[in-house]
Amino acid sequence: QVELHQSGPGLVKPSQTLSLTCAISGENVSINSAAWSWIRQSPSRGLEWLGRTYYRSKWYTDYAESVKSRININPDTSKNQFSLQLTSVTPEDSAVYFCARSPVAGDFDFWGQGTLVTVSS
């Protein structure tokens, strides 16, 4: 059974960087049959996929166009986890952030518990 556990601050100041980590248990982040995504949820935008990282002989990343200029998702194989960094945040980035696994089917089968992030001074 795969489990994902998120950590990171719940309050970020405007213009600063949002950083979250997702620790994986029950599977290796480098497995070549899954991808690891970040998704956020807000009343205004609903559920929004932000990006993913995955390993297929080398590491790849894909990002949503809406955040492409501000986002980085990185794997950490030594700790079996992956992280999200979102730079230059504004109040519109306030949301609940989830990490999730994508199996071969391409949907999301296992999710982290969610982190409410508020962007405010």
Q: Which residues bind another protein (CB under 8 A)?
A: 46-49, 62, 64-65, 98, 100, 102, 105-114
The one-letter code for the residue type at 3 is E
CB of 48 to another protein, least distance (A): 8
Residue placing its CB nearer to another protein in the complex, 75 or 112: 112
Residue recorded with tokens 């029950």? 26
Residue placing its CB nearer to another protein in the complex, 89 or 100: 100
CB of 13 to another protein, least distance (A): 25
Residue recorded with tokens 């949820």? 41
CA atoms within 13 A on the CB side of 91: 2
CB of 100 to another protein, least distance (A): 8
Residue placing its CB nearer to another protein in the complex, 49 or 85: 49
Instruction: Give the separation between CA 92 and CA 121, rounded to whole angstroms.
Output: 13
Overall residue count recorded for the chain in this entry: 121
